[in-house]
């Protein structure tokens, strides 16, 4: 993978906190931080749009970035407002994280806290091939959830 252009929007990023990075050698996604001026309190059911402190330009139509919740935060009820965020290859704006408190208790987000993760994924862009019928398969036209009924 070639490099991805990153523009720092919050000067604490890369100085006080690391740039988005992998937490371990085998981590699939990079941690993103809440670039806040002060801690944020989210009441049950409340959402907030939080800056990740940078803008990026992937610049390769074969790659996209997915924003995902962190497992531990998701377990306690802090997830992404859009569940999964998508950053297209041609987007060049600020990366923002939609946080949603789906729990029944108040959630506090600290300044610089790791609140999401970003996964870079390959993108396939196939051409449609219109057919009158499909070649037979084992599943065939089995309905939604049909593979779990056996």
pLDDT single digits (tens) 86-95: 999 999 999 9
3-state secondary structure of 74: helix
Measured CA to CA, the distance from residue 15 to residue 8 in angstroms comes to 11
**129 falls within a domain:** no
Residue 33 in domain: yes
Q: Which CATH number goes with the domain that contains 41?
A: 2.70.40.10
Specify the residue for token string 């009820």: 77
The pLDDT tens digits for 30-83 are 999 999 999 999 999 999 999 999 999 999 999 999 999 998 899 999 999 999
Q: Could you tell me which of 81, 84, 93 has the C-alpha nearest to residue 52?
A: 93
Please indicate, yes or no, if residue 89 is contained in any of the structural domains. yes
Is the model's pLDDT at 149 over the cut of 80?
Answer: no
In a domain, 132, yes or no: no
Whole-model pTM? 0.87
**If 0-12 CB within 10 Å is exposed, 13-18 middle and 19+ buried, where does residue 109 land?**
buried
Residue 14 has pLDDT above 70, yes or no: yes
Domain membership of residue 31 (yes or no) is: yes
Domain presence at residue 117:
yes
Domain that holds residue 63: 5-122
Q: How many domains does the chain have?
A: 1
Res 147: pLDDT: 65
Residue 140 backbone dihedrals phi, psi, to 5 degrees: 60, -135
Residue 133 included in any domain: no
143 found inside a domain: no
């Amino acid at each position: 993978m070639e490099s991805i252009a990153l523009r720092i929007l919050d000067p604490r990023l890369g100085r006080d906190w690391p740039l988005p990075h992998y937490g371990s050698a085998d981590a699939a996604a990079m941690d993103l931080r809440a670039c806040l001026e002060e801690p944020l309190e989210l009441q049950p059911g409340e959402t907030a749009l939080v800056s990740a402190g940078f803008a990026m330009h992937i610049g390769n139509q074969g790659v996209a970035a997915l924003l995902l919740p962190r497992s531990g935060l998701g377990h306690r009820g802090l997830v992404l407002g859009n569940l999964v965020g998508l950053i297209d290859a041609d987007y060049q704006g600020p990366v923002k994280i939609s946080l949603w408190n789906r729990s029944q208790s108040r959630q506090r987000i600290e300044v610089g806290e790791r609140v999401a993760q970003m996964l870079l994924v390959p993108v396939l862009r196939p051409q449609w091939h219109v057919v009158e019928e499909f070649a037979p398969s084992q599943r065939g036209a089995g309905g939604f959830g049909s593979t779990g009924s056996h």
